[in-house]
Amino acid sequence: MKTWKKFLPDVVVIAVFAIISFAYFFVPITQGKILYQHDASAGVGAAQEMTEYQNRTGETTRWTNSIFGGMPTYQMSPSYQSTDGLSQVMNAYHLWLPDNVWFLFAYLLGFYILLRAFDFRQSLAALGSVMWAFSSYFLIIIAAGHLWKVMALAYLPPMIAGVVLAYRGRYLSGFIVTALFTAFEIKANHVQMTYYYLFIILFMVIGYLVKSIREKQLAVFLKATGVLAAAALIGIAINLSSLYHTWQYQKESMRGKSELVKKDAANQTSSGLDRDYITQWSYGIDETLTLLVPDAKGGASVPLSKNATAMAKADPQIQSMIPQLYDAFPQYFGTQPGTSGPVYVGAFVLFLFILGLFIVKGPMKWALLAATVLSVLLAWGHNFMGFTNFFLDYIPMYAKFRTVASILVIAEFTIPLLAALALKKIVDEPEVLTKQMKFVYTSLALTAGVALLIALFPGMMEPFVSDQERQMITSIQGMDGNTANTILATIAAMREAMVSADAWRSVIVILIGFALLFLYKMKKLRADYMVICMAVLCLVDMWQVDKRYLNDEMFVPKSERDMPHQATSTDLAIMKDKSLDYRVLTLASNTFNENETSYFHKSIGGYHPAK
């Protein structure tokens, strides 16, 4: 009975997580709709032949003819009998919740396990979980259909929880948790996310090493390290089949060493992707402000016409002249080729992170700060090419992965973790606010103050119109110079209004959080009530931003995704040929960036992220 009461608060928190996860997707669930995800839809096309073969024979094929003239299926739907049991354990961990719901639930539960490993009380751990799980990028990748990435990110915090447990002297718990979630993590099959988080683990291990040396507990550190190494080996061993085939596969893909030398040899890496390809999606230096203000660079690459704040600044006269004008311009005006949305960690969460840099003591703080700075610098990619080149040339495996902006997942972990550690410090030692209130004001100035500057002077985020957009307007036949300038000025004003409005929003969120801290300092608010209010504040703040990029309108009837492509008369004519040795070349669209052809035919082209 006592054991049950001990774990009852944890059970309640887990139930609340399930309710929150269902609530986010409540409308589409009740309507029986599913999420239309680009990558998932593309995957249907690529895997169609493989699926038909399995339905017809009951067997799994390791080869498909429907994409790139023929390729292995190891990176399409990797499944091995050796991990069937592990899959059942994973389903139990997700509480057998439906798709999308369990993604969000796994985010919440994973970070909760991590914070409990840090000995957080349940309410604080739940708050920290909200701070982590609702970071915008994590919802954006659900919308995009990057499901392996979703799973990999969801299992990383509990895997790191095992590391924390071991170094805190709980060897058996650390061993079990590390082994289990290492197996989960590798099974998720997104090597890039796992690789990025190894940087976090490295910094944390260094932090624990420094702590053990200071406290003359090096033997404890070495014992914990041995326990973790053994646990990691078990997690790896369970997935050896998958790891072996992935390793063999990558050598034959564009991530392997090329036998050809390109004319632009400087653009090549020694054993990975081209530098331009790796850094094509690089976060802008000023774009880093989206951590604080989500629309600092306009948000997502969706039409301006879909933003009410922007449309309030639209010129009706121009709209009457060119009705579809505002559909042609995206809200996003950063330097990336396009984006599904910004990386926003929560304005108040960032405030707490800055505060944590002042009030949290010990090597762990410096480890988290170092990892944060590293991720930001590497996310800049070609905007900070000297640093990027060093990693491409000298850090093993770094050149294997593209879209360097995604390394901000490190900051999305370290920022809420240090923010949570700051709150734990405040709750455990209330006097810290009285003794170090100057640091609270400093954190306020560095977050709300910066957001206020952006709100008052949104022009600091310019240019609001790119050179390509200027050329597009001026090249319109019959467009005179005055009209072109008016259109461009209007577009700039619309985007500027979006930036200002979102900056004001961040200011308000931070001030509300600051007020809660101040009331707690003045003993007008109990710690538990403060934590609950902060959880609501962070949830409402981040929920509203997330709904911009993953909302009910993105859900469709299941039939639309199961049959995403309709056969044309040409398709039907080609399909009469039942032989295995023909191939179809599509030139009507991007040959190597579409899977519509693969849905019906044996295609020369196709799309796959690991091609």
Bond from prior residue into 416 cis (ω within 30 degrees of 0): no
For the chain, percent of residues with pLDDT exceeding 90? 70
Contact criterion met (CB below 8 Å) for 143 and 163? no
> Helical H runs in 522-582?
527-549, 558-562, 569-574
Q: What is the pLDDT of residues 178-190, one digit of tens each?
A: 999 999 999 999 9
For all residues of the chain together, what is the average pLDDT? 90
Q: What is the SS3 assignment for 46-69?
A: HHHHHHHHHHHHCCCCCEECCCCC
Is pLDDT at 79 greater than 80 in this prediction? no
Q: What is the pLDDT of residues 486-542, one digit of tens each?
A: 999 999 999 999 999 999 999 999 999 999 999 999 999 999 999 999 999 999 999
pLDDT tens digits for 240-267? Answer: 887 777 777 766 666 656 655 555 656 6
What is the reported pLDDT for 564?
61
pTM exceeds 0.85 for this model: yes
For residues 605 and 597, give the distance between their C-alpha atoms in angstroms, rounded to a whole number: 8
Mind listing the pLDDT tens digit for each residue in 133-174? 999 999 999 999 899 999 999 999 999 999 999 999 999 999
pLDDT of residue 2 exceeding 70, the answer is: no
Joined together, the tokens standing for residue 283 give 């976060």
Residue 200 has pLDDT above 70, yes or no: yes
Highest mean pLDDT among 55-59, 63-67, 135-139: 135-139
Tokens of 489: 């000025």
pLDDT in tens, 84-136: 899 999 999 999 999 999 999 999 999 999 999 999 999 999 999 999 999 99
Alpha-carbon gap, residue 353 to 594, rounded angstroms: 42
Comparing CA positions, the residue from 63, 66, 68, 36 lying closest to residue 609 is: 68
DSSP labels, 364-414: HHHHHHHHHHHHHHHHTGGGGHHHHHHHHHHSTTGGG---GGGGGHHHHHH
Higher pLDDT: 320 or 425? It is 425
> Residue 611 and residue 606: Cα distance in Å, rounded?
9
Residue 263's pLDDT is: 56
